[in-house]
Every structure is written in C-alpha cells, then in structure tokens.
C-alpha cells in the first residue's frame, strides 16, 4: 500500500493592497497571492493555492498550501534568516 500524500498545510495570510501575503518559512520570504477583483470580497479568495516556492526542495512545492486569514496585523519578519547561534539565545 502506498502512503497517501499528506494534506496541504494551512498558512496564515494577511491582506494588503489587494493581495494575500503569506510567509514562507522554507524560503524565508513573503509569497503573494491575488485577492480577487477590487469590488469583490477578498475572503472568497482564501483556500488552496499553489506554492510560489522557487526551490523544488521546498516541502510546499508539490502540494501547495491553504490560505487562512491571519489574525491581527501582518508580522514583520527579519530580512535574513537567523543563524543557529541567534536562535539558541531566544
């Protein structure tokens, strides 16, 4: 029996300037997805999306992810991935 493909993970997305912004922990960057027409309801455009990951080794690359509305303001992540030493001090 083959192992079933695991379901696509749910990732929080924040609406900004007509696009959904989702943080990619694998590539350490934001990916952007359309939120529909200006006169539409952007919540209708949440759900499964193909990953925008450039690296085919990304665990999201094959199955994508499910956008869900993030809570609160969009977080600001550092421009560079923290080093292992910096992570140990947290």
The answer to whether position 21 is within a domain reads yes
The answer to whether position 66 is within a domain reads no
Domain count, the chain: 1
Structural domain range at position 30: 1-39
The answer to whether position 82 is within a domain reads no
pTM of the model: 0.77
Q: Which residues contact 65 (CB under 8 A, 6 or more apart)?
A: 8, 9, 10, 11, 22, 48, 49, 51
The stretches in the chain having pLDDT less than 50 are 85-90
Output the pLDDT for position 27.
87
The answer to whether position 51 is within a domain reads no
CA 10 from chain centre, in angstroms, equals 8
The answer to whether position 67 is within a domain reads no
Q: What are phi and psi of 45, to 5 degrees?
A: -110, 15
Output the pLDDT for position 47.
95
- Cβ atoms of 20 and 67 within 8 Å: the answer is yes
The answer to whether position 61 is within a domain reads no
The answer to whether position 77 is within a domain reads no
Output the pLDDT for position 85.
47
């Amino acid at each position: 029996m083959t192992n079933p493909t695991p379901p696509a993970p749910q990732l929080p997305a924040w609406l900004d300037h007509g696009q959904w912004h989702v943080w990619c922990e694998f590539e350490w960057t934001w990916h952007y997805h359309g939120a529909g027409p200006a006169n539409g309801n952007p919540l209708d455009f949440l759900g499964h999306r193909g990953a925008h990951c450039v690296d085919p080794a990304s665990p999201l690359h094959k199955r994508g992810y499910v956008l869900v509305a993030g809570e609160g303001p969009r977080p600001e992540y550092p421009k560079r991935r923290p080093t292992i030493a910096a992570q140990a001090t947290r």
